[in-house]
Amino acid sequence: MSKQTADKNKPAIFANYVPDDEQAIDPRGFELDDPSWIPGYSEIIQANEIAAADPLVWANQHAGTGITKEKMYQVIGATPRDVPVTFRWLRVTGPDGGNSYNADEDRAQYVERGYRAVRKQDLENWGLGLPPAAHIGADGMIRRLDTALFVVDGKREKAFQEWQARMTAEAENRVERQGESGVAITSEVLDRGTYEHSFKLTT
């Protein structure tokens, strides 16, 4: 593997690192294949996914290659860590670029959960790069095809996911009890509904 120059869009912590393992898998350039890639953020998400991989499964997959999780963190240019915000690409128009009631309705559900549109200044304040497949729209939103980039406080989104998981588990438990008792029980629709939280987006 030939030496590569540092990617200016990557987090600076390992910007000058060049892997010395000829068999290392080099994930650089993934952003060219992934239109949702957010330079400086997606690397951390990738590192978090590697960290979460089962150690035995990882060892079996990379047996004899010398590839460790630590080497992959260095190649990626990021280490596992909590992220303060959660990004999501949400539809803002129809496929043809026109108004879309369905897109507005879907987006409204996330706005109710605290999501807001990301601006270029936000990315700059957080030290992140503009997604390579995106552009700045006339309204200032970061757009990609019929979607735009939205953000929410990471703790707030985590709390919502935990709440939704509890509701799903409770609904499944009610269905199991229904089968045992023969009593009909109506499950709630979990996609929407009341969600109380105490987090405030400060970023």
Could you tell me how many helices (H) and strands (E) the chain has, helices first?
Answer: 7, 5
- Which pLDDT band, with edges at 50, 70 and 90, does 10 fall under? very low
- List, as own/partner pairs, every contact residues 24-28 make where C-beta atoms lie below 8 angstroms and the sequence separation is at least 24, other chains included: 24/65, 24/66, 24/67, 24/71, 24/72, 24/75, 25/67, 25/72, 25/75, 26/1, 26/75, 27/72, 27/75, 27/76, 28/4, 28/75, 28/76
SS3 of residue 135 by DSSP: strand
User: Both tokens of residue 154?
Assistant: 């990471």
Q: Which one is predicted more confidently, 31 or 37? A: 37
Say if residue 8's pLDDT is above 80.
no
pLDDT digits (tens, 9 = 90+) for 139-150: 999 999 999 999
SS3 of residue 153 by DSSP: strand
pTM for this prediction: 0.66
pLDDT of residue 199: 31
